Amino acid sequence: MTDNPYVFTLVSALVTTAFIIAACVGLGGLARLVVRLTGGNLRRQDQAYAGYFFAAPWIVGFLIFVVIPMLASLYWSFTNYRIGQPTAVVGLENYSRLILEDREFRGSLVNTLFLTLIGVPLQIGVALGLAVLLNQKLKGERTFRVTFYLPVILGFNAAVLLCWRLMLNASNGIIDQAIRALSNASPVVSALNRGLIYVVEVVNGFFLGLTNGNYTLLQRVLETGFPAANRVPMWIQTPLWSKMSVILLMVWICGSMMLIFLAGLQATPRELLEAAEVDGAGSWRRFWKITFPLLTPYVFYNLVLGLIAALQIFEPVYVLYRDNQPLAPSAYSMVYYLYQATFRFNEIGYGSAISWLILIIIAVASMIQFRLQSRWVEYEIR
């Protein structure tokens, strides 16, 4: 057609628009016909026409971009399909290679587990803390709210992530320099810093052991013992810390979870809290006996969304670790691994198997969460 990419896309957009309008009229007409043949009156016919006319863009898009791709990829997941090469059905080979042999896939699973077990609770904790602080009828509450939400908008832009890469640098990054300065100034901060480093490295050593099948890194951490006084976190330098940088970013963008908690806090009935206060319950007790139980549905909602988000983390891994090959796999999320494994050699068959495993994992994890929710989520106070 044309060499100019802008003109090409503008023309495509016009053609698409024409196609969608045709689909609207077609689908609406079809719906009207069906209603007429099943004996619907004129009003019902008109409603069917209008409803399908307006919903058609989504229905058609759902078929083209969701249903057909999902079915195609289900089929391809049983083949060795690569773009531009002959395809053969290989049965369950992709899946068995993924589950039994592929160390990087297992690594991405373990990383997602780590982010879900440690990152998401931290995120939820900070979001809840900020929401409680904001829910005190303060002057200037709005400004704080906007400030805490800002990272959600900027957060995963590659440009902002590069700034984090600058700040997380171990030798002259601002974060470690600040930690160093504070540790030198106060022995309490120093002890806290060393204790935290120890805990982080032991926990990460354990999870890396799960990935690698051997625990040499964990052993090395334990043999070294309590970190020396001049130690600082090694954010983007070692596998022991690579996931912690991602968690730091997750906590930074907890603003949307915070807003959801704020909505929950504002829905807490005043009378209950006031009655408890009259009965002499302190604010700490009131929070844990009344406010928190009423917030559990919101915690649950954030947990479900947090897990799905953890599976999909892409930009931070790309910007922080893409060019640091031996280290990068220790921070791969499942979606990053999907991208990496599929498009390195355009292995569509293998990538399809990964996609389906991700979908199955989300379905199973959500089901487990919904099962467990009756044990701790309270929809009314008892």
Q: What part of residues 119-178 is at the interface with other proteins (CB under 8 A)?
A: 130, 133-134, 136, 138, 142, 144-154, 156-160, 162-167, 171-172, 174, 177-178
Q: Does 17 bind other proteins (CB under 8 A)?
A: yes
223 neighbors 171 (Cβ within 8 angstroms): no
* Residue list 288-317, contact with other proteins (CB under 8 A): 298, 301, 305, 308, 311-312, 314-315
Residues in the interface with other proteins (CB under 8 A) total 107
Q: Does 83 bind other proteins (CB under 8 A)?
A: yes
Q: For other proteins, which stretch binds (CB under 8 A), given 57-65, 101-109, 113-121, 209-217?
A: 57-65
Angstrom distance (rounded) from CA 38 to CA 124: 52
Angstrom distance (rounded) from CA 71 to CA 31: 26
Q: Does 358 bind other proteins (CB under 8 A)?
A: yes
Q: Could you give the string, one character per residue 335-354, with x where binding to other proteins holds by CB under 8 A and - elsewhere?
A: x--xx--xx----x--xx-x
Q: Does 372 bind other proteins (CB under 8 A)?
A: no
Angle between helices 141-154 and 120-134 (to 10 degrees): 160
Closest CB to other proteins among residues 241, 336: 336
Q: Concatenated DSSP letters for 203-266?
A: HHHHHHHHHHS--HHHHHHHHH-SPPTT----TTTSHHHHHHHHHHHHHHTTHHHHHHHHHHHH
Q: Which residues pair with 148 in a beta bridge?
A: none
* Residue list 245-274, contact with other proteins (CB under 8 A): 252, 256-257, 259-260, 262-263, 266
Nearest alpha carbon to residue 94 among 368, 359, 356: 356
Which token pair is 300?
């649950």
Angstrom distance (rounded) from CA 251 to CA 148: 11
* Smallest distance, other proteins to C-beta of residue 64, A: 7
* Smallest distance, other proteins to C-beta of residue 14, A: 10
Of positions 22, 33, 42, 66, contacts other proteins by CB under 8 A = 66
Q: Is 4 helix (H, G, I), strand (E, B) or coil?
A: coil
With tokens 């031996």, the residue in question is 326
Closest CB to other proteins among residues 42, 146: 146
Closest CB to other proteins among residues 193, 221: 193
